[in-house]
A and B are shown apart, each in its own frame.
Chain A
Amino acid sequence: MLSLENITRIIHEWLNSHFNPAIALDTEFVLVGVASITLFALLGLSLVWMERKVAAVMQIRLGPNRVGPKGIFQTTADTLKLLMKEGLVPDGADKFLFNLAPFIVMIVAMLILAPIAFAKNFQIWDINIGVLYLSAISSLSVIGILMAGWASNSKYSLLGAMRSGAQIVSYELSAGLSVLSIVVLTGSLSIKDIILSQQNGWWIFKAHIPALISFIIFIIAVTAETNRAPFDMAEAESELTAGFHTEYSGMRFALFFLAEYINIFIVCAIGATLFFGGWMPLHIGSWQAFNHIMDYIPSSIWFLGKTIGLIFLIMWFRWTFPRLRIDQLLNLEWKYLLPISMFNLLLTSLVAIMGWYF
């Protein structure tokens, strides 16, 4: 059967039988790099198109419909335009940092990809501290944003970057705490173990109330972390022109734009992994027949479906809710989400100790 797992195994065996192990390993590194860059490009193109379509229909419009059927080549055309544009560097900018910032943001986005399981036994790097790695790396992207804001030497960029800093540092807490509740239930930090623990049902169903609360907190916190509306204070078109990337143009701007969508994909993939079982098909307890039917759907489809579902949810948020003010944003985090998620962590621990989950 052709699955992602088999394809990787065939490539691995072929390389090892024709070359010595060191060269095979290096080739695999290169292949993984190329594959993830390709994935990024495809994700960027398709998610931007999806966002524009979703936004349009929610605002009773049609959205892109001129380039290609249903406008699917619109984003390709936009990217080609951005590639050909001149990348300006302002005179007053710190040239080195200004050029470095978009790459930092992209590299951080690529690093988070490592422990994510895309399908059954299809993972770049199965580390036993996967969740810790994810939460550690995902907060690094703020450095790229701060760098861009500072190096641009523009008031809008600086304000946007500072807001983004305050926002990501605050929301990191409740995102971490809500992730911890799943870790408490599983008893492992490894992504693989977390997925395997959902063999007989996803955590959001198995651990009922505490998992639901932590899922809601998680989705709010990651919306804030990825700087998406209603928490898009770092960009805030109506206040700060374009926030931290006001001074960027051409391909550097495209990198920031791409990184935003990659980050959405990644946080949704994390959410799908923790709460909806990653590539694990929908299993209900001991209903053997039902579980077998669900197993026929490939695991990569399950993973992509869940992730796209969560991405849609985040897009739904964006096109429904009004933007928060900076003080409201911090109020929400420190007065509501943090106490609730702390209380929820206690509740989860109680549920885990007493075995009150299915």
Chain B
Amino acid sequence: MFLKDYIKDVYGAVSSLLKGMRMTGYYFTHHKEIITEQYPDNRETLKIADRFRGEVVLLHDENNEHACTGCSACEIACPNGTIKIINKFDISPEGKKKKAIDTFVYHLELCTMCNLCIEACPTDAIKMAQTFEHSVYDRSKLTKKLNNEGSKLREGIE
């Protein structure tokens, strides 16, 4: 019985080691698997992983309209106060007051790319962009206003 276990041990060890060597051997012979990006050289053809999170952006369509209702769900969801939504009230032709965003303030220097704001957004107005060249000479440049000048809420989004 002891001898059987002993041989089984040796066999199991050898076969699992060979399995590992087959994996690395496969990578050694298949150079197309190499995932290194030679970054500054291949800036134009750079391929970034789909789930990479670079910064939060507010999506605008061609009519300069966005989907942000100013509900502040992202601001509440943010764990370290990266987002600040400043609201204003538009007065519609019928004389009704309507809430809209005045400024969507985003502090890139505070953001940890945790993705909680994107998940909290009820209208999918914001998303994570894949840009990553964020270095600037002045810290104040990292505080961004996400909504474009003169943009407004898209029709039909409540």
**Which A residues have a C-beta under 8 Å from some C-beta of B?**
54, 57-62, 316-317, 319-321, 336, 340
Which residue, of A319, A320, A321, A336, has the highest number of chain B Cβ atoms within 10 A?
Answer: A320
In the complex, which residues of chain B have a beta carbon less than 8 angstroms from the beta carbon of A340? 10
| Beta-carbon contact of B36 and A319 below 8 Å | no
Partner of B20, one of A57, A61, A320: A320
In the complex, which residues of chain A have a beta carbon less than 8 angstroms from the beta carbon of B20? 320-321
Report if B49 contacts A (CB, 8 A): no
Report the 7 A-B pairs with minimum CB-CB distance, sorted nearest first.
A62-B36, A58-B24, A320-B24, A320-B20, A61-B36, A320-B21, A60-B35
11 chain-A/chain-B pairs, Cβ below 8 angstroms: A54-B28, A57-B34, A58-B27, A58-B28, A60-B27, A60-B34, A61-B36, A62-B38, A316-B25, A320-B20, A320-B24
Q: How far is the CA of A138 from the CA of B27 in the complex (A)?
A: 34
Report if B33 contacts A (CB, 8 A): yes
In the complex, which residues of chain B have a beta carbon less than 8 angstroms from the beta carbon of A320? 17, 20-21, 23-24
Q: How far is the CA of A54 from the CA of B33 in the complex (A)?
A: 14
**What is the distance, in angstroms, from B24's C-beta to the closest C-beta of chain A?**
4
Report if B31 contacts A (CB, 8 A): yes
In the complex, which residues of chain A have a beta carbon less than 8 angstroms from the beta carbon of B24? 58, 316, 319-320
**What is the distance, in angstroms, from B55's C-beta to the closest C-beta of chain A?**
27
Contact A57 to B31, CB < 8 A, known contacts A62-B36, A62-B38: yes
**What is the distance, in angstroms, from A57's C-beta to the closest C-beta of chain B?**
5
Q: How far is the CA of A183 from the CA of B31 in the complex (A)?
A: 41
Q: How far is the CA of A336 from the CA of B28 in the complex (A)?
A: 30
In the complex, which residues of chain A have a beta carbon less than 8 angstroms from the beta carbon of B31? 57
In the complex, which residues of chain A have a beta carbon less than 8 angstroms from the beta carbon of B10? 336, 340
| Beta-carbon contact of B27 and A62 below 8 Å | no
In the complex, which residues of chain A have a beta carbon less than 8 angstroms from the beta carbon of B17? 320-321
Q: How far is the CA of A317 from the CA of B27 in the complex (A)?
A: 14
| Beta-carbon contact of B27 and A57 below 8 Å | yes
| Beta-carbon contact of B34 and A62 below 8 Å | yes
Interface flags for B1-40 (1: CB within 8 Å of A; 0: not) read 0000000011000000100110111011001011110100
A339 — nearest CB in chain B belongs to which residue? Answer: B6
In the complex, which residues of chain A have a beta carbon less than 8 angstroms from the beta carbon of B35? 60-61
Given contacts A54-B28, A57-B31, A320-B20, 19 further A-B contacts (CB under 8 A): A57-B27, A57-B28, A58-B24, A58-B27, A58-B28, A59-B27, A60-B27, A60-B33, A60-B35, A60-B36, A61-B34, A61-B36, A62-B36, A62-B38, A316-B24, A316-B28, A320-B24, A321-B17, A340-B10
